[in-house]
Amino acid sequence: MSLPTITADGRGSAIPEAEFDELLAQVTAWVEGPGEMWAERIEREESVPDALWHELDDAGFLALAAPRDLGGRGLSFVQWMGLMEVFSRSHASVRMIVHVLNGTWRAMNPYADDLQREQFVRPAVAGKLRVAFTLTEPGNGTGADITSSVRREGDTYLLTGRKHLITFGVHCDYWLLFARLEGSTGKDGTVALLVDRATPGVVVEDSSQTMGVHGTDHATLTFTDAPVPVAHRLGAEGDGLRVALGGFLTPSRISVAMSCVGLAQRAQQLAVEYATQRVTFGRPLASRQAIAFLLAENEADIEAAKALTLTAAQAWQDDHDRAPALSSMAKLTAVDMLTRVTDKALQVHGGIGYWKTMPIERVYRDARAQRFEEGTNEIQKTVIARDLFERAARP
């Protein structure tokens, strides 16, 4: 029997079902045990201790999605989504760590040369390098309208511009940053660069004071003629947005959609537990049709979003040309589902759910961040509509 071809982004890789089931049980046990203790500590201290990073790394959780030839566990993308569903029931910062660390290699590896693969990709997969995806700008969108620019002087690019909302941008080792060649316009002038955190000419502002997802650091970055070796460019000049959108954003949007599913499942679990335990007028809340119907609606909502997300995951794994549009459909559908589910779950708790002593309060806050992670709903609708009209115009 011939082995499946494994592409640079890991498509074709997979592990046996029995091995996956064992891994799923391991992740579930961690999320429901140590993960809950870490969640309490993160909320209390509003930071992610280095010890958590080390624990996740030691457990092998930061190298699950990468193929074995890069040092990863070799899961298929669909298998990886099965684990993301579970990780997302934990604290949002735990989910963010495993989501990002298991994803940035996808953007880098297809465009890396052999030296870059050894210098950046393998160490990132091994958890030895933290690479922050650095696309969003305060005065622009997250696509061909970026204005951060570079001009080339010999073997060096001089980088000038601003980035913001950069997850792990404060404490990373490198920024995987997207800019454009000075004087260019459109996607064909963009470049992808690995910028050392210690590069001179960079000002890093910690902007981590967020409504939810406590503990995950975020940065605003200002670059003024910051020198970046040309050897740190991934791909050719003009490949920048291809590195960002194809290698990272499409699978990442599917991963965020599955994160919504997992977090919604956690909200539903908390609501069901409360409804069966809380007694009013001599009867548990679960016996009241109004409450039962809310939870029934939640269950159907969750399963529908999960099915679409798995469809998108399979499309990306199969390299189907509709994967980008399906990823946006999944993300759009899942975040709207999560909004409805968490709102109803909090309502089931009544007033007590608004207190920080209740786990649903944190879930409710964390859920709101998913509405703009990897692009707002409006961006997703733009991607979907473009695909729709392009297909309609085909003969």
Q: Provide the greatest CA pair distance for the chain.
A: 79
374 part of the active site: yes
Q: What is the 8-class DSSP label of residue 119?
A: I
Structure tokens at 205: 């502002």
| Angle, alpha carbons 300-306-307 (nearest 5°) | 90
Extract the tokens encoding 204: 């890093």
The answer to whether 144 and 128 are in contact (CB under 8 A) is no
Altogether, the residues listed in the chain come to a count of 395
For the CA atoms of the chain, what is the radius of gyration?
21
Q: Is 348 helix (H, G, I), strand (E, B) or coil?
A: helix
Q: Choosing from 40, 153, 374, 378, which is the catalytic residue?
A: 374
74 token code pair: 């070799």
Q: Are 73 and 64 in contact (CB under 8 A)?
A: yes
Collapsing DSSP states into helix, strand and coil, what is residue 43?
helix
Secondary element (H or E) of residue 161: strand 156-167
Q: Are strands 131-134 and 149-153 parallel, antiparallel or unpaired?
A: unpaired
Instruction: At 370, give phi and psi (nearest 5°).
Output: -65, -20
| Residue environment code for 264-273, b if the CB has 16+ CB neighbours within 10 A, otherwise e | bbbbbebbbe
Torsion of CA 25, 28, 29, 31, to 10 degrees: 160
CA 260 from centroid of its chain's CA atoms = 11
The DSSP annotation for 125-146 comes to HTTSS-EEEE---TTS-SSTT-
| Helix (H/G/I), strand (E/B), else coil: 340 | helix
Determine the Cα–Cα distance for residues 25 and 109; give it in Å rounded to an integer: 29
**Which residues are annotated as catalytic?**
374
